[in-house]
Amino acid sequence: MGDRLAGRRALITGGAGGIGAATCQVFCEQGARVAIVDLEREAVEAAAEAVRSEVAGAEVLPLDADVSDESAAAGAVEAATRTFGGLDILVNVAGIRSYEPLAEAKAETWRRILDVNLLSYAYTAKAALPALRRSGKGSVVNVSSTYGVSGRAGMGQYDATKAAIIAMSRTLAFEEVEHGVRVNSLCPGYTMTPFHIRRGEARGLTREQVLNEEVGDCLMRRWADAREVALPILWLASDEASYVTAANFMIDGGRPVR
């Protein structure tokens, strides 16, 4: 156990997913109380229990909510703030993917991915700002993707939402600096999470086979473990990053931007 987030109260969306759950764990290891929000009650409770079993004394509040719904997002923020008596850190991780080439992209999938990947980040931030301002050490960390800054074919809807997250985070940083709230975004590269394991299995591949697949343009030529993304999030959320705002970080093992 460390004390890098001692006394801090955090809310993490997408907390039952790979990066969200790993972030919850490193936050608890460093003394934070953490609310994790995800779609399914069972999944979010299992994620909370997994962290409690790894980190003695961990205080995790599991909340089930669809954060793409503004009132549900606000309700989750309110529940966390009420339970903890305030909120210091918001980490937005919730996300979905869409694999339609833009020539075939449907209005319905456009709306859904914008709702989840972009608007949920706006809704939770809006709801959390009063508490984050009161904190005096408020920090928002928004998870984007390397594909928010570099191009590829096939996932244009997802990539557009991830680019918008970077822009929205920067604007929020400008608007909130006078209230003492720092806002940053972060772009993971290939990160091995249950999502990719399930996707590999659907193609008949084991976790090891997915890990050994070509990682293309990554300088380190390997996948990240979710913890390797969670640790930069921890740093951004903590006082160690007290002079860092309106920034975007590439956590991608070194990949070219084009």
Ligand X SMILES: NC(=O)c1ccc[n+]([C@@H]2O[C@H](COP(=O)([O-])OP(=O)(O)OC[C@H]3O[C@@H](n4cnc5c(N)ncnc54)[C@H](O)[C@@H]3O)[C@@H](O)[C@H]2O)c1
Least distance to ligand X, CB of residue 158, Å: 7
Q: Which is nearer to ligand X, 57 or 198 (CB)?
A: 198
Least distance to ligand X, CB of residue 11, Å: 12
Residues found near ligand X in the complex (CB under 6 A):
13-14, 16-20, 37-39, 66-68, 93-96, 116, 120, 143, 145, 188, 190-191, 193-196
Rounded to a whole number, what is the distance in angstroms from the first to the last CA of the chain? Answer: 40
Instruction: Compute the radius of gyration of the chain from its Cα atoms.
Output: 17
Q: Which is nearer to ligand X, 68 or 184 (CB)?
A: 68
DSSP designation for 150: S
123 a catalytic residue:
no
User: From the candidates 121, 147, 158, 190, which is the catalytic residue?
Assistant: 158
The whole-angstrom separation of Cα 114 and Cα 118 is 5
Least distance to ligand X, CB of residue 37, Å: 6
Least distance to ligand X, CB of residue 97, Å: 7
Bridge partner list, 143: 186
Q: Which is nearer to ligand X, 3 or 214 (CB)?
A: 214
Residue number, nearest CB to ligand X? 17
Cα atoms found within 13 Å of the Cα of residue 165, Cβ hemisphere only? 36
The whole-angstrom separation of Cα 217 and Cα 256 is 7
Least distance to ligand X, CB of residue 163, Å: 12
Q: Which is nearer to ligand X, 68 or 245 (CB)?
A: 68
Give long-range contacts, CB 8 A cutoff, 24+ apart: 212-221: 215/190, 215/253, 217/255, 217/256, 218/189, 218/190, 218/252, 218/253, 218/254, 218/255, 219/253, 219/254, 219/255, 220/253, 220/254, 221/253
Residues 134/86, Cβ–Cβ less than 8 Å: yes
Q: Which is nearer to ligand X, 22 or 241 (CB)?
A: 22
Q: Which residues are the active-site residues? A: 158
